[in-house]
Amino acid sequence: MLDYLVSLSVFAGLYGLLALGLNLVWGLGGMVNLGLAGLFAIGAYASALAELRLHLALPAAAIFAALLAAGAGALLAAVTARLKGDYLAIVTLGFAEVIQLLAANEIWLTNGTDGLPAIPAPGRGRLSSFHFDIASTSVVWLAVILVSLLLWRLSQAPYGRVLRAIREDETVAAVAGKRVLAFKVSAFAAGSAVMGLAGSLYAAYTGYVAPDSFDVLVTLLVVLALTAGGLGSMAGAVLGAILVVVLTEGTRFLGGLLPGLSALQVASLRQGMIGVFLLLLLRFRPEGILPERMRRHHLED
Amino acid sequence: MTARISRRTALAGSLALPFLARTGEAAASIPLGAINPLTGAGGAYGPSMAKVAKALVERINRTGGVIGRSIALDVEDDQTNPTVGVEAARKLIDVEKVVAIVGTWASAVTTAVAPLCWDSHTMLFCVSGADSITRLPHHGYIIRTQPNTYLQSGRAAEFLLRHGCRRVSGLSAQTPFAVDSWNRLKAVLGQGGAEGVGDIIYDAKQTSFRSEIDSTLAAKPDTLFLNSYAPDLEILLRESYQAGFAGQRFTFAYAATDAVLKALPAPVTNGLWSFAPSPDVASPAYKAVQAILGISDPDPYSCQIYDHVALVALAIGKAGVASGVAIHDNVRRISQGPGQHVSDPVEGLRLLAAGKEINYDGASGPCHFTPSGDILSCKFLFQVAENRHNKTLSIS
């Protein structure tokens, strides 16, 4: 049981990183980015290929993956700069689909739908699987802590204030002399770098990447994590990620509690419960569990 | 002083509950895991696979179990997604301590789950098709009951040779197995004195294949090997007919669907050959699967998972020990070799308990495995289209 919980904590950390990256782009910058599965995939493939083909060590591969994802994110942001809300959401969702199709069809690079197996990670094979999981969870959670501190600092800095201003009203920010496009592109790139890093750690931990790993499900779970935790708050993003893993995995044990249901009924019930949870949350606590704290300055009359 | 439970605490508590509440199973039962695509792209197959596995486990348990112990089956959903599959495998291996995992369907899920299995000495029985799976360094911990591309294409080529095809051209949709299939087909055709005259790989999402067909027909083939899916097959059949091609056409049964035959005029589809790996429809085990599902034509995967569970039970029965290693060491001793042929796992267990040797022949086929875990042979269904219906030519 402990092995299982440790391995879940690795996944919780990975979702946490994705939620943090999304929080910078969406929570602070107000850009709905549903392309995160694509950026996650770019990170995972870049890191896997850097390790397998270029024989880079994992830390170098992770940096490479983050930079590549940042580049892709910046490009995506520059192309979609004029889009907002639903339109931006659809285009970024399309971006993720394109990346998944590329991964499935550019066989010379990605090995197609067979995926890339045997991705090395320091310690795999030498350590027992339990110790490897402990090491993985330490690395992943160290990354979560560092990234959340960094992003929290960034959100408190003037840079974060400008992003929030752009989120609330782009025109006002532009009138105030802020270079809106540069801020949007740089925030998107930074958020994408975090997602790329998550992809790299995912590839190293599971040792296998395939196009199927990066379908819309990942995006939905991370959006759920961020909405549940509290859009705009770094602690909320991490808490939301933990909650999502507890919810998706905890419901696995329902089957034992509800005898008489077929496997399909339990599987459908699990997915239904996750939906119901999100609905209830949005009804009773739309701002999330740990909402963003706004410092308000009262003006004297 | 009153104990106050806030809504937040209550929520946290109720979320933690499922982790704490473990079902109280008899300590003596043998834990077995199934990972099936209950939802997602494989959702058409997973539920019936799970049903078959559960029914066979229940029957084995009712009739005395295996080496005096019952089997506790835990079915997990992989949502046809490798990440979810890995999480499910983690639960099965780390929490339930299963001796084997049966019924992984998508190739990506099998490939993702496989390293966890061989690291923990858990046997993995899969129905996935990708050739790369049995080439993984699995140390014998993977058994695959689905024929791979090599076996399928070889049998397709033998069929074409038997029917006098001499110049075969390939038109293949871009898939991971397109190149492998063509190379194997060409090699077997070559051994039989025929030849493969050019293969074109196309993008299945095109709406016309006229230029592909023109360059294919320039090589004057007498047969087209259409490695297609249903939507592109429909266009290929229509356009090759319009281009005046009058030779034979051969494709996979999953492409030559009733919908395709209904969508085209009979003269266009008449004579279209199609084939598919077939369960052993004469086998008593196949009849057992029919009875469990209550239908006359169970899908191949449901037949295969029946054999997975049977092989696990029989290998444990042979070894006298319930562990992944015991299944690994004994699965070929009960599936192939000189023993008495049995198709009923319960009867097989009885014979094993009496100290006899057995050779299990299952619902999916004879269940003989190569050292790398692939099946040596299975039956294939060949059919021909006549007046917008597929007619069975042979099952061999």
pLDDT tens for each residue of A95-150: 999 999 999 888 889 988 788 888 888 887 788 878 889 999 999 999 999 999 99
- Does B49 reside within a domain? yes
pLDDT at residue A130 in the model: 85
Alpha carbon distance B227, B240 (integer Å): 15
Rounded to the nearest angstrom, the gap between the alpha carbon of residue B129 and the centroid of all alpha carbons in its chain is 6
pLDDT at residue A275 in the model: 84
Task: Determine contact: B27 vs chain A, CB below 8 A.
Answer: no
Same domain, yes or no: B50 and B95: yes
SS3 call for B317: helix
Query: Å from A72 to nearest chain B CA?
Result: 24
* B360 bridge partner residues: B342
Low-confidence ranges of chain A (pLDDT < 70): 295-297, 300-301
Nearest Cβ partner of B111 from A115, A247, A262? A115
Low-confidence ranges of chain B (pLDDT < 70): 1-27
Degrees, nearest 5: CA angle B250-B256-B258: 150
Nearest Cβ partner of B82 from A4, A210, A270? A210
Query: Å from B122 to nearest chain A CA?
Result: 13
CATH code where residue B47 lies = 3.40.50.2300
Task: Determine contact: B23 vs chain A, CB below 8 A.
Answer: yes
Q: In what order do the strands lie in the sheet with B142-144?
A: B71-77, B30-36, B100-104, B123-126, B142-144
Question: CA-nearest residue of chain B to A1?
Answer: B95
Alpha carbon distance A200, A206 (integer Å): 10
SS3 call for A116: strand
pLDDT at residue A273 in the model: 85
Query: Å from A105 to nearest chain B CA?
Result: 8
SS3 content of chain A, % helix, strand, coil (to 5): 75, 0, 20
Q: Which of B335, B328, B331, B316 is nearest to B378 (CA)?
A: B335
Helices (H) and strands (E) in chain B, counts: 14, 14
Same domain, yes or no: B38 and B139: yes
Put simply, the answer to whether B91 touches A4 (Cβ < 8 Å) is yes
- Does B304 reside within a domain? yes
Give Rg (Cα) of chain A: 20
Residue B220 neighbours by CB under 8 Å, 6+ apart: B167, B197
- Does B15 reside within a domain? no
- Does B255 reside within a domain? yes
SS3 call for B272: strand
Same domain, yes or no: B50 and B70: yes
Nearest Cβ partner of B82 from A8, A213, A249? A213
B340-396 pLDDT per residue, tens: 999 999 999 999 999 999 999 999 999 999 999 999 989 999 999 999 999 999 988
Cα-flanking dihedrals φ and ψ of residue B270, to 5°? -55, 135
Domain that holds residue B56: 29-148+282-360
Q: Which two tokens stand for residue B64?
A: 């005395």
Strands B248-252 and B223-227: parallel
Most B CBs within 10 Å, among A261, A264, A284, to test the B interface: A264
DSSP string, B18-38: HHH------TTSEEEEEEE--
Strands B195-202 and B272-278: unpaired
- What's the farthest any 2 CA atoms get from each other in chain A? 69
Strands B167-173 and B142-144: unpaired
Same domain, yes or no: B287 and B268: no
Same domain, yes or no: B262 and B340: no
A-chain CB neighbours of B175 within 8 Å are: 112-113
- Does B287 reside within a domain? yes
CA A177 to each of CA A24, B43, B97, B109: distance values in angstroms, whole numbers, following the listed order: 22, 54, 62, 52
A31-54 pLDDT per residue, tens: 999 999 999 999 999 999 999 999
Same domain, yes or no: B125 and B268: no
- Does B7 reside within a domain? no
Put simply, the answer to whether A115 touches B108 (Cβ < 8 Å) is yes
Same domain, yes or no: B296 and B193: no
Put simply, the answer to whether B16 touches A252 (Cβ < 8 Å) is no
Alpha carbon distance A40, A45 (integer Å): 9
Put simply, the answer to whether A115 touches B119 (Cβ < 8 Å) is no
**Domain map of chain A by residue range?**
2-215
A56-78: burial string, b at 16+ Cβ within 10 Å, e else: bebeebbbbbbbbbbebbbebbe
| Number of domains forming the structure of chain B | 2
Task: Determine contact: B108 vs chain A, CB below 8 A.
Answer: yes
Same domain, yes or no: B256 and B108: no
Burial of A276 (0-12, 13-18, 19+ CB in 10 A): exposed
Same domain, yes or no: B94 and B215: no
Alpha carbon distance B376, A194 (integer Å): 47
Task: Determine contact: B22 vs chain A, CB below 8 A.
Answer: yes
B-chain CB neighbours of A113 within 8 Å are: 107-108, 130, 175-176
- Does B193 reside within a domain? yes
- Does B19 reside within a domain? no
